[in-house]
Structure formats: structure tokens, C-alpha cells
Amino acid sequence: MLVVRPIAMSDYDSLHTCAVESGHGFTSLPVNEELLTNRIQHSEYSFSKSSVTEPGDEGYLMVGFDSETGEVAGCTGIEASIGWDVPFYSYHISTIVHSSQKLGVNNVVKLLTFGNNYTGCSEICTLFLRPTFRGGLNGRLMSKCRFLMMAEHPHRFSKTIFAEMRGVSDEEGNSPFWQWLQEHFFSIDFTMADYLTGIGNKGFIADLMPKLPIYINLLSKEAQAVIGQVHENTRPALKLLENEGFTCRNYVDIFDAGPTVECDLKNINSVRDSFRAKVQIAEHSSSQDYLIANTLFEDFRATAAKAAYDKESESVIISPQVAEALNLGVGDYVRMLAQ
């Protein structure tokens, strides 16, 4: 059984393994001991804050682990409010029309405009599931457990939730979009720029990035072709978010031009469709699958399991194994989502 819980410092080696296996372009998991250690420490601090009334500098990082072996299968995270201490940059795709009635010419042109439009929003991030664990409901659990947390503790998160999707790059980490930027404005390759961003050294972006809008039709054909496109390995994650109601509102990453998708918290399907139920513990024969999370925060737990829900009494029967995995007793409450 895969169970999600807050990360602990003892998970460092497993998080490092995830960082190595995630490959190029996964900015939030750079292979850097100091950064990974800091992320774990900050997450421990964030989960321990009990007096939160609105989103702030908290960063919540969680791991999924095999309840039988203890092996960490992957990680997933939420940043409560981005862009305050460290600037968050993105490009917005806009449209202008160059028109001359006298000449009978109308040209529609698209621009990339540099900005900080997602400042203050909550970001879902750092979703990675190791290849051997990809199957069944594991991917859904790692992604949607964050929405169960948001539904239960909405005051900790912003009105708008967004996610940056990894853009197109090859096995060596070369991005067609970045290659054009590098040629004209930078002198470092994509993997180095991506790494520097991951460890928080973003000053070079503001120093070297063109401040005026960029005409997309002036970019190379290769760069134009990948704007708003996702990395092959990211397509399942994007599909999951689109099914939740997330959509791209013409914002893309400044390095690889991968799409940024967003949704109002209250309109996320898993937030809207999840519900609370009172726990009963017993063996049962139900075949209905649910994502199930306890209602705690510092000791948050979530898993995917079969359960017998009774709508009339608003109660649910879960097995002793599930109850143990989620630290639940009879009479406790869970938040559930049918699958």
C-alpha cells in the first residue's frame, strides 16, 4: 500500500534518489545536497506551524512510501505563496494586430512578455513518482492528495492554484526554446540555468533577460514549435490536472516555455467532489476505490484503498490496515474522493 506523509530529514537519501532519477528540467529537484536539505527542513518547519491563518512562506513537501517495505516511491509538494522572498518569473503570451487599411494589411502577431503575475499564488510542484511505482492509483494519489489537503485546510492556500509543467528538452537537457535565448541573451546552457534556478540563484534572470516583449515570430522555428508544449514524461501529469479543471491562460516557463496551468481552489474537481466521513474499522467486501486522507495537518496521511461508504449516515468502513496506515481510530474523520 502506498501512503503519503510529510517528509522527514531521514528521507534525505530517498529525496536525492528522486532528484537524480527525475532528470533535466525538473527545477524543484536539483541534485544539490544543501538545497534538498533546506527543502526538507523548511517543510518540517511549515508542517509544524499551527497558527497559520493565511498562506505565507510555507512549503509542504511529502513522500509516498510502501507501507510494507518502507521504500520511498516518490514525492509531491505545495508552495503556499510564491514570489515574495524569491521572485517568480514567467512569460505571458499576448496578441497584437498590425493593421493598415490603406495597404489592406492585417497581421496578427504574438508576443512574450516577462513578468511576475503569479506572485502570492499557491503552487503545486515537485510531483515525481519513481518508474517502478507507476501503476494503479499511485499517480493519482501522489497528485490528488494535495487537493484533499487543500479541501480540508483551505485557509493555508491561496485562491488561485497553479502548476508549472516541464517543457520540451532532449535527453541531454537541451531545450530548443532556451537555445534561442542563450544565443541572443545568455552565455550559459540550459542545464546550468535550470540548476541555478533550482538552488535559488535567480538574480541572473532579471539581469540578463530581455525586459521588452519578444516577438514570437522572430524566434527560431524550433523554439516557436515548443512554446506551450510539455515534456513527454509530463503528459500524464498534465492530463490529470486538465481533468481537475486546470487550464493554461497563456503563461509559459521562461526557460523551456512549458505551459503553466491554473485553477481556482474552489473549482478544482477533487476539492469540490471530496467529502468527509466518520470512520468505522472492520473488514468489508466493498469494491469501490477511494483516495482517503486523515483530517490532521502535521501528521497528514493519505492512501488509495477500497472502502464502504454509507451516504445516509455519512460514515465509512475501512480495513484495520488502512486505519493503521492513516493513524485513525473509530470515530475519527477522513476526507474521501471516489475513483
167-188 pLDDT per residue, tens: 998 887 788 998 888 777 776 6
**334 and 239 assigned to the same domain:** no
Asked about 231 being catalytic, the answer comes back as: yes
**70 and 148 assigned to the same domain:** yes
Domain extent, residue 316, equals 274-338
Residue 58 pLDDT > 70, yes or no? yes
C-alpha cell read off for 15: 529525496
The pLDDT score that the predictor gives to residue 171 is: 81
Is pLDDT larger for residue 65 or for residue 107?
65
Total-model pTM: 0.90
C-alpha cell read off for 237: 501529469
pLDDT digits (tens, 9 = 90+) for 107-122: 899 999 999 999 999 9
The pLDDT score that the predictor gives to residue 187 is: 64
**14 and 158 assigned to the same domain:** yes
Span 22-44, average pLDDT? 86
Residue 317 sits in a domain of what CATH number?
Answer: 2.40.40.20
pLDDT digits (tens, 9 = 90+) for 243-296: 999 999 999 998 889 999 999 999 999 999 999 999 999 999 999 999 999 999
Is pLDDT larger for residue 195 or for residue 107?
107
Instruction: Give how many domains the chain has, as a whole number.
Output: 2
Terminal C-alpha separation, the chain: 16
**241 and 321 assigned to the same domain:** no
Span 194-219, average pLDDT? 73
Nearest residue to 61 (alpha-carbon basis) of 107, 4, 112, 138: 4
Question: From CA 302, how far away is CA 291, in angstroms rounded?
Answer: 7
- Overall residue count recorded for the chain in this entry: 339
Give the type of residue at 223: A
Q: Which are the contacts of 183, defined by CB distance < 8 A and separation ≥ 6?
A: none
Has residue 219 been placed in a domain?
no
**279 and 317 assigned to the same domain:** yes
Distances (CA, A) of 65 to 6, 34, 292: 11, 23, 15
Annotated active-site residue in 16, 98, 231, 284: 231
